[in-house]
Amino acid sequence: MDLSIGLKILKDRSHMFLLKKNINQLVVFTDQALVSGVNFLIGILLTRYLGIAQYGHYVMGWILVMGFSSLQRALIISPLYALYPSQNDKRSYLDNLGGIQVLLSGLCLIIGVVIMIILLIFNGMDFSPALCIYLPLLISLYTLYDYLRRVYFVLGRGKECFFVDLLVYGLQPIALFLLRSFDLLTVNSIYLVWIVLLTLGICIVIFRRGIVMKFSGLRDLFRMHWSYSGPLFWTAILQWCSGNFFIIIAGGVLGTTSVGIIRIAQNIVGVLHVLFLGLENIIPIKASKVLLESKLEGLYYFFKKVIIQFGLICLFVLGGIVVFRQELIHFLYGVEYVQYKDILLQFSVLYLLIFFGTILRFVIRTLSVNKIIFQAYILTSLVSLLSAKLLVENWGIQGAIFGLFITQLIMLFYYSFNLFRYANRTYNYR
């Protein structure tokens, strides 16, 4: 009788653990849905309120923010997810990593100011001098806040992160409506809203959770991170060039209106970013544990299950977008943009390739063979640099989209080929 009671207690605890685990994963996806949803809404509102050309200006600045963010994810976030589970002193690790993040965010501010001044003086870019401060400050605060969000996920405090994000991101559309009501809505004012709300979120997280950021012993920690993320860092630079060079060339050759048109399609298909970024916060951590416990065989079955489960979700979403693409564009942006419905079809197919590429990168990062990603982006960056201007000048927006397809296909082939070689070497060694 005592044994049966004990087994029942263990079973109940197991069920509670699984329930808590599933709830945490649901919160992660809900939080990412909030973040992506607000960005999606802002894109719609700016297109309607400012016009597609001004929205293109906003997008060009946001591409710079995302470029710095990708470097931060390579240096800080990716190693955090992969290395945190194996740390003996996890608290000290996070404190020291926070110190590195503060220094990195400060460096982003300085570099951002230099870049904006160079663009203003030498290229005669059409923006106000105030943007030389607004955009770099936004970059700095965005990277710091993003780090704090990821720490919440690593610590299993997704619910707390959701409520802070609800404040930071949820207030943005409200602020946008108010700015428009008082005739103050500009690209600069949107960046300023970002700055204020990100500062608020950072203060709440630091003081509410008592997060400490230490500046001792940073050299050894940075070396440990760099040994993991060195290839990822250079890859992030190449990835930014590979993924955005066609868009930048389109903006330079065809004007910012073309950038706005491309972003309209990306915004709609970008609903999948909820899935991709949600996976980013869950899969690498789980995959590292699976590799430690079940080795390469367990990792294979784990990712096979991930591809089947989330691939079906991806197909379902993209299928709906393809079928109702005309209605979606009409409802969200207006009848004048329905003429671009076929671009939305093309981006739907493109994002299916991006899904598989995302999963393969998770596999590569889990196996710590990040040089494969780096090598793939060398190839795709070379293709982008050599072909972008030619494709855009001859075929316009269609040329830019075709270039994005080519880079994704090259990447998938290179990832698959090298992972196959890695698996063969591992089994032959055994």
Q: What share of the chain is helix, strand, coil (3-state, %, to 5)?
A: 90, 0, 10
Q: Using alpha carbons only, how large is the chain's radius of gyration in Å?
A: 22
Based on the number of CB atoms within 10 Å of its own CB, is 59 exposed (0-12), middle (13-18) or buried (19 or more)? buried
Four-point Cα dihedral 282, 283, 284, 285, nearest 10: 50
- What share of the chain in percent tops pLDDT 70? 90
Task: Give the pLDDT confidence score for residue 365 in this predicted structure.
Answer: 84
Question: Identity (one letter) of the amino acid at 159?
Answer: K
The candidate with the shortest Cα–Cα distance to 105, out of 67, 147, 64, is 147
* 8 A C-beta contact, residue 78 and residue 284: yes
Distance CA 188, CA 185 (A): 8
Q: Which two tokens stand for residue 163?
A: 């409520």
| Number of other residues whose CB lies within 10 A of the CB of residue 320 | 13
Q: Which two tokens stand for residue 179?
A: 């700015």
* 8 A C-beta contact, residue 411 and residue 355: no
Going 350 to 353 to 359 to 362, the CA torsion angle's sign is negative
Question: Identity (one letter) of the amino acid at 117?
Answer: I
* 8 A C-beta contact, residue 146 and residue 107: no
How many residues appear in the chain? 430
Task: Give the pLDDT confidence score for residue 180 in this predicted structure.
Answer: 92
* 8 A C-beta contact, residue 426 and residue 296: yes
Q: Which residues of the chain have pLDDT under 70?
A: 1-25, 122-128, 209-213, 426-430
Give the DSSP letter of residue 339.
G
Task: Give the pLDDT confidence score for residue 21 in this predicted structure.
Answer: 54
Task: Give the pLDDT confidence score for residue 139 in this predicted structure.
Answer: 96
> Distance of alpha carbon 30 from its chain centroid, rounded?
16
For the chain, the domains span: 23-425
Task: Give the pLDDT confidence score for residue 145 in this predicted structure.
Answer: 95
